[in-house]
Amino acid sequence: MLTGYRPTGRLHLGHLLGNIRSNVALQDVTECFFFVADWHALTTGYEDTASLASNVRELVADLVAAGLDPERSVIYRQSQIPAVAELFLYLSMITPLGWLERNPTHKEQLRELSTRQINTSGNLAYPVLQTADISIVDGEVVPVGEDQLPHLEIAREIVRRLAHLYGTSLLVEPVALLSAGARVLGWDGRKMSKSYDNAIYLDDDPGEVLDKVKRYVTDPEKVRLHDPGRPEICSVFAMHELFTPADDVEVVAKECRAGDRGCVACKAELAGNISLEIEPIREAKTSLMQRPEAVDEIVAAGAGVARPVAAHTLERVREGIKL
């Protein structure tokens, strides 16, 4: 299996529960390739690359600290595998523009980021590059979020078209594995996201976690400590369900309904449980960030494993195209 991460900033609880935990578990089941999609970061961020290198290091530190294991999995950086770019070139030749122009993610981006010049050929070809990422290592299973399903569909179409054109199956047709993780709410009740500025990051310390948890919206009708509350409409309760042991969650619900629990204490308990969960990640990340050369070594070792695999795929494709 293979999946990629764009280096766009620190990871938060939404990433952890939505995707990283299930990818950590996949390492017990199959051979995993994880990579940092730094070329993809250029598709929208080509104008300002000042923090690209540090974003890449931070992402690798986040991922490894959260449990992606360089001893068992191949962790690398896209731009260190030039074969991806060559495969991208061949796939670009055969991909009809219409497929890319119809891509809902691209259309949405053009609407949302209309102030920046992102209508470039590279950005339009984002799914072609993604196909090259997957195919270069014979990726079969691609764990992704729902937003990536259109890209995976395009990848499958490109692989099929290549086989059709050259009369033989040259690449593996990938399947999307929809990440089964939970949807995590930010303190404004919306989905946790960096762009909504409502995120608790994996390296927030217990004080920061408490400050952020204090901002969560609760049951608006529970004003005083002994007012009964409705856990089912409270986003603090929704977070308890994700971070608090099941027995304790029952107690939270019962006490809330009975008016035996105040929101201040309820939030403090939640913050404590979140910190318990992320403290080991924060510590591991901090120690990695203090040794940037260790992070560089991880991706260099990963590139050492990925490169021969990629070269092999490329040879097959070149032969198939008769180059």
Q: Which residues bind ligand TRP (CB under 6 A)?
A: 2-4, 6, 37, 40, 130, 133-134, 142, 144, 148, 151
Backbone angles phi, psi at 236, to 5 degrees: -65, -40
User: Beta strand pairing status for 33-36 and 74-77?
Assistant: parallel
Residue from the set 55, 73, 78, 218 that interacts with ligand SF4 by CB under 6 A: 218
The per-residue DSSP string of 95-161 comes to S-HHHHHT-HHHHHHHHHTTTS----HHHHTHHHHHHHHHHHTT--EEEE-GGGHHHHHHHHHHHHH
Q: How far is the CB of 190 from ligand TRP (least distance, A)?
A: 19
Q: How many residues bind ligand SF4, per CB under 6 A?
A: 14
106 binds, among ligand SF4, ligand TRP, none (CB under 5 to 8 A by kind): none
Q: How far is the CB of 160 from ligand TRP (least distance, A)?
A: 17
User: Contact, 14 vs 192, CB < 8 A?
Assistant: yes
User: Quick check: 234 binds ligand SF4 (CB under 6 A)?
Assistant: yes
User: Quick check: 222 binds ligand SF4 (CB under 6 A)?
Assistant: yes
87 versus 134: smaller Cβ distance to ligand TRP: 134
254 versus 312: smaller Cβ distance to ligand SF4: 254
Alpha-carbon gap, residue 104 to 131, rounded angstroms:
17
Q: How far is the CB of 151 from ligand TRP (least distance, A)?
A: 6
Q: Give the end-to-end CA distance of the chain in Å, rounded to a whole number.
A: 29
User: Quick check: 242 binds ligand SF4 (CB under 6 A)?
Assistant: no
Neighbours of 10 (CB within 10 A): 17
* Residue 238 parent element (H or E): helix 235-243
User: Beta strand pairing status for 141-144 and 175-178?
Assistant: parallel
12 versus 240: smaller Cβ distance to ligand SF4: 240
User: Quick check: 213 binds ligand SF4 (CB under 6 A)?
Assistant: no
Local structure of residue 34 (DSSP, 8 states): E
* In the block, residue with structure tokens 């409502």: 198
37 versus 192: smaller Cβ distance to ligand TRP: 37
Residue from the set 12, 15, 151, 261 that interacts with ligand SF4 by CB under 6 A: 261
The per-residue DSSP string of 52-77 comes to HHHHHHHHHHHHHHTT--TTTSEEEE
Local structure of residue 178 (DSSP, 8 states): E
User: Quick check: 243 binds ligand SF4 (CB under 6 A)?
Assistant: no
Residue from the set 68, 256, 288, 303 that interacts with ligand SF4 by CB under 6 A: 256
Give the CA distances from residue 309 to residues 33, 37, 83, 110, 178, in Å, rounded to whole numbers and listed in that order.
11, 18, 10, 35, 25
58 binds, among ligand SF4, ligand TRP, none (CB under 5 to 8 A by kind): none
User: Quick check: 266 binds ligand SF4 (CB under 6 A)?
Assistant: yes
6 binds, among ligand TRP, ligand SF4, none (CB under 5 to 8 A by kind): ligand TRP
229 binds, among ligand SF4, ligand TRP, none (CB under 5 to 8 A by kind): ligand SF4
Footprint (CB under 6 A) of ligand SF4, residues 160-179 = none
3-state secondary structure of 278: helix
32 versus 252: smaller Cβ distance to ligand SF4: 252
151 versus 240: smaller Cβ distance to ligand TRP: 151
* Residue 283 parent element (H or E): helix 263-289
Residue nearest to ligand TRP (CB): 4
Footprint of ligand SF4 on this chain (CB under 6 A)?
218-219, 222, 229, 231, 234, 236-237, 252, 256, 261, 263, 266-267
